[in-house]
């Protein structure tokens, strides 16, 4: 969006001001109630503007129907409110009906965008959920995506029409899923945690036909099934999920200053 840096700075400043006023009101000072309402109204207007300016990106394709997955997301940087883990500002999604789960990974490159909230971009290499892929009728498609300066991967899981849905995964970067179903109703749910550890070796799953891939920068989003030429095999990088707060990467409670694929 035009003026994104200025927009974010204004929004963050207003949220800090709102928190200050809320603390004062909690302590019995009601003198700034009108200011609280005005700040809250401006934040609401800015959030509406943010959602209106989110672009839709064609990122994946269903292996069962051929339908293109278009995701309305903020790919300009991790400082966008779209990536605020605990209160993400995202529109409800009307995705292809065969999309079962939508997750990803991001290899962080320094400097990391700074924002006063926690973002959860995941590991620094593509990963798979074996218990999803082991279910009948499930296929995953791996494709490339960039968020700001950071190269990453979208892993979309698709369910064959008529197949029994297994447990799912939260949407990338948050702890729940949010969709608009075929009837136009908005649905929100929180999947149960997976019981099996993630898999980082994609080769066996591709060989079994459970995982397909799309070449980077392929505008046609052609689905490929061969191991030969697959750019997503044996990628080096951090396998633990990372958290980003105010421009710093945290892994397992430890701050890692350098980005660049750590």
Total structural domains within the chain: 2
What six digits make up the tokens of 72? Answer: 């309305």
- Which of the listed residues 18, 33, 52 is the one where a domain comes to its end? 52
The mean per-residue pLDDT over the stretch 116-121 comes to: 97
Average pLDDT over residues 72-82: 96
* C-alpha distances in Å from residue 166, one per residue of 77, 178, 260: 32, 17, 35
Is 162 inside a domain boundary?
A: yes
Q: Collect all residues with Cβ–Cβ distance below 8 Å to 134 and sequence separation of at least 6.
A: none
The residue among 8, 210, 215 whose CA lies nearest residue 119 is 8
pLDDT above 50: residue 260: no
Residue 207 has pLDDT above 90, yes or no: yes
- Same domain for 69 and 23, yes or no, is no
Q: Assess if residue 61 is contained within a domain.
A: yes
Are residues 179 and 205 located together in one domain of the fold? Answer: yes
Establish if 238 belongs to a structural domain.
yes
Asked whether residue 74 carries a pLDDT value surpassing 70, the answer given is: yes
Residues 26 and 144 in one domain: no
- Is the domain of 75 the same as that of 125? yes
Q: What three-state secondary structure class fits 69?
A: strand
Same domain? For 20 and 128 the reply is: no
By residue range, what is the domain housing residue 88?
Answer: 56-256
**By mean pLDDT, which of 22-36, 51-65, 225-239 is the weakest?**
22-36
Same-domain pairing of 46 and 164: no
Same domain? 147 vs 197: yes
120 and 17 co-located in one domain? no
Q: What is the pTM of this model?
A: 0.92
Distance CA 202, CA 227 (A): 9
Identify the pLDDT of residue 250.
96
Task: State the average pLDDT over residues 13-37.
Answer: 89
Of 26-30, 91-95, 139-143, which gets the smallest average pLDDT? 26-30
Tell me the pLDDT of the chain averaged across its residues: 92
- Has residue 261 got a pLDDT over 70? no
Please indicate, yes or no, whether residues 42 and 128 belong to a single structural domain of this protein.
no
Task: Give the model's pLDDT for residue 257.
Answer: 63
Provide mean pLDDT across the span 126-144. Answer: 96
Highest mean pLDDT: which range of 175-179, 187-191, 222-226: 222-226
Does 183 share its domain with 98?
yes
In a domain, 126, yes or no: yes
- Domain shared by 17 and 34, yes or no: yes
In a domain, 261, yes or no: no
Query: Are residues 245 and 209 located together in one domain of the fold?
Result: yes
**pLDDT-based confidence at residue 2 (cuts at 50, 70, 90):** low
Give a yes or no: residue 201 inside a domain: yes
Examine residue 111 and say whether the peptide bond preceding it is cis (omega within 30 degrees of 0): yes
Report if residue 262 sits inside a domain.
no
């Amino acid at each position: 969006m035009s003026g994104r840096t200025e927009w974010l700075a204004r929004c963050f400043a207003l949220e800090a001001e709102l928190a200050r006023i809320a603390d004062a009101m909690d302590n019995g000072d009601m003198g700034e109630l009108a200011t609280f309402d005005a700040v809250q109204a401006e934040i609401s207007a800015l959030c509406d503007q943010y959602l209106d300016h989110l672009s839709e990106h064609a990122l994946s394709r269903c292996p069962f129907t051929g339908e293109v997955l278009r995701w309305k997301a903020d790919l300009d940087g991790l400082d966008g409110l779209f990536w605020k883990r605990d209160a993400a500002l995202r529109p409800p999604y009307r995705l292809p009906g065969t999309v079962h789960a939508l997750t990803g990974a991001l290899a962080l490159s320094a400097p990391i965008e700074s924002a006063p909230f926690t973002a959860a971009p995941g590991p620094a290499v593509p990963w798979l959920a074996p218990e999803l892929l082991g279910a009948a009728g499930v296929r995953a498609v791996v494709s490339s995506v960039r968020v700001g300066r950071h190269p990453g991967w979208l892993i979309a899981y698709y369910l064959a029409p008529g197949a029994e849905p297994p447990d799912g995964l939260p949407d990338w970067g948050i702890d729940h899923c949010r969709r608009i179903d075929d009837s136009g109703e908005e649905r929100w749910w929180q999947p149960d945690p997976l019981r099996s550890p993630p898999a980082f070796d994609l080769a066996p799953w591709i060989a079994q036909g459970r995982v397909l891939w799309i070449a980077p920068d392929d505008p046609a989003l052609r689905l490929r099934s061969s191991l030969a030429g697959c750019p997503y095999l044996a990628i080096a990088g951090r396998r633990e999920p990372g958290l980003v707060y105010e421009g710093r990467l945290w892994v397992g409670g430890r701050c890692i200053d350098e980005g660049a694929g750590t």
